[in-house]
Amino acid sequence: MTSHHKTAAGFTLDPHSPTLNENDLGILGGVNTSIEQGQDLKAWWKANRDTRVHNASFPVARQIHRPDENYGFLMNANLRKGQLPVAGVIQDQIFDFPKAPPHLCDDAYDHTWMRSQLRTFIMKYFMKVTSSSPPSKPPHYSRMGKDTSLSSPAVSPVSGWGYQQSYYKLKATGEVGKFPDAHSTDLIALDEIGVKYDWVVFKINIYQFDFPLDLTGSANGAKVLISLRQPVHAVMTPDFLIDRENPEPGVLAEYGYGYSVVPDPNYKSVFAAGPSSISNTIETLTFRVLDTGEVRAHMDFITPQPAKIVNFSPEQLSFSLADSVTFGLASKVFAPLKNFLHEVEPEIDPVYMGVRLANILTLGLASDEFSVNNEQLFKTLMTLHFTDVFHMFTRTGNHYGMVRDWTDTEHLPLWAKHGLYKADTPV
């Protein structure tokens, strides 16, 4: 057995854990800070969600399914470490409604049954079925079992979210470890957090998530799409778990989870406001089963207003182009100049610069008439997040309705037991 030892991140390593590499240590180094930030932001949210947040809210999308609702907000959050400008989005929508004849409703809606179904699904299976692929053309096989297709089958586009479990801290010993790669998608039951684990870091791959930049101010005009398909690391602690019965009149139970985002210093992207780079960000997903049998899904998301949208360095771009035609020689020969420019040259955000320039040239008309301003950029980001979660809730609600009894482990289909997400799916 390997002896206990401290890692570079200051944790005591679980002797049964796979070896941690530099990328692992980079992510783990931000876990404690992210937990503190998440608790601080969560406390602020609880104190202000029904007062100041409502006063600063704006509609995110039009929904015809009443009483489904959504709204976003932009405001300053007064936290323990100072004031933080934040953006957020809140949504509430139908998740499931079991069907039964009206004269059987009193008997059909067994409260204990409904609670056990939802709790089992959320705690054990929900995170396994948040992604899916549409049907695709199967390969053709010969009698010998050989694939005779003229070309290899195309990879089906994946949508939704793909969860993996990455790191953990054991409650009994305080030791930190990494889940083996072979078991990264064999997700733990969430109610083990607080019992077996002090915290667990999950990696979330978010698909089909693109940020549109409107180039003309016209609804049908040219747009540039910046892909936000980045892996997100998030730490879940016991205080983010929701497991309550009869929390209020008409609500039989509510179950759910949440987490605080952990920045990944290893992930480099042109998009400065991308999911892998943010901190001071929390999200909670809550599911309530009502005494009518209806199940509703709710999401709260709070994140800082980005200081910049795009990472752009003229020095870096210039040397990248020079290296491409000199086979890397430019950076080597002119290394002192490159290092000097890197220290003195500020990075430029072309998005914010374009917004400022448009309003300077039009004396503010671009903002007043065409909503070309930073606030509209933040609202667009919140709308993107709302839309992505809306589709994820709808997709997962379909999966929830495909199983007759989620507590009958022996007869669950394999896709429900083991999940729909594959770790080797390209991100």
Q: Which of 50, 157, 51, 73 is nearest to 383 (CA)?
A: 73
Of 384, 307, 376, 382, nearest in space to 348 by CA? 307
129 in helix, strand or coil?
A: coil
Helix (H) or strand (E) holding 244: strand 242-248
| Amino acid symbol at 143 | R
DSSP state of 377: H
Residues 72-101 have a mean pLDDT of: 88
CA-based diameter of the chain, in Å? Answer: 84
- Whole-angstrom Cα distance, residue 206 to residue 332? 37
Q: Six-digit token pair at 195? A: 């019992």
Which of 93-102, 166-175, 183-192 shows the lowest mean pLDDT across its residues? 93-102
Residue entry with tokens 């209020």: 248
CA distance 384 to 221: 19
pLDDT at residue 45, rounded to an integer: 94
Q: Could you tell me if residue 363 is left (phi over 0), alpha (psi between -120 and 50 degrees) or otherwise beta?
A: left
Looking at per-residue pLDDT, the higher value among 391 and 286 belongs to 286
What does the alpha-carbon distance between residue 97 and residue 411 come to, in Å, rounded to a whole number? 23
- Per-residue exposure over 385-394, b if at least 16 CB sit within 10 Å of its own CB, e if not: bbbbbbebbe
| Segment 304-318 mean pLDDT | 60
Q: Is a pLDDT exceeding 60 seen at residue 308?
A: yes
State the sign of the Cα–Cα–Cα–Cα dihedral 364, 368, 370, 374. positive
6 or 427, which is more confident: 6
Residue 316: the pLDDT is 52
pLDDT mean over 277-296: 91
Residue 166 burial by CB count (10 A; 0-12/13-18/19+): exposed, middle or buried?
A: buried
User: Residue with structure tokens 């398909």?
Assistant: 229
Question: Can you tell me the distance from the alpha carbon of 427 to that of 168, in angstroms, rounded to the nearest whole number?
Answer: 23
Helix (H, G, I), strand (E, B) or coil at 133: coil
Distance from C-alpha of 314 to C-alpha of 320, rounded to nearest angstrom: 10
Whole-prediction pTM value? 0.78
pLDDT of residue 128: 92
Q: Has residue 43 got a pLDDT over 80?
A: yes
DSSP element (H, E) containing 178: strand 176-178
Helix (H, G, I), strand (E, B) or coil at 161: strand
The region, left, alpha or beta by phi > 0 then psi within -120 to 50, assigned to residue 145 is left
Cα separation, 384 vs 303, in Å, equals 13
Whole-angstrom distance, CA of residue 251 vs CA of residue 239: 21
Structure confidence at residue 40 (pLDDT): 96
| Beta carbons of 226 and 211 less than 8 angstroms apart | yes
Q: What is the mean pLDDT of the chain?
A: 78
Half-sphere exposure of 396 (CA within 13 A, CB side): 29
Does the pLDDT at position 52 exceed 70?
A: yes
**Closest of 4, 60, 26 to residue 173, by C-alpha:** 4
User: Do 12 and 174 meet the contact criterion of CB atoms below 8 Å apart?
Assistant: yes
Question: What confidence tens digit (pLDDT) does each residue in 366-410 have?
Answer: 454 445 556 777 787 788 888 889 889 998 999 999 999 999 999
| pLDDT of the residue at 213 | 57
Residue 342 is predicted with a pLDDT of: 46
Give the C-alpha distances (Å, rounded to integers) separating 228 from 51, 107, 156, 262, 356: 32, 47, 19, 16, 24
What is the per-residue pLDDT for 228?
A: 61
User: Over the stretch 89-131, which tens digit does the pLDDT of each residue have?
Assistant: 999 999 998 776 655 555 556 888 889 999 999 999 999 999 8
H or E element, residue 88: strand 82-96
Q: How far from 388 is each of 239, 305, 395, CA to CA, in Å?
A: 25, 19, 11
Burial of 12 (0-12, 13-18, 19+ CB in 10 A): middle
For residue 335, the surrounding DSSP H or E stretch is helix 335-344
Contacts of 225 (CB under 8 A, 6+ apart): 210, 211, 212, 213
Distance CA 68, CA 325 (A): 55
Higher pLDDT, 18 or 145: 18
Q: Is the pLDDT of residue 146 over 90?
A: no
Give the per-residue pLDDT at 138.
Answer: 64
Higher pLDDT, 427 or 336: 336
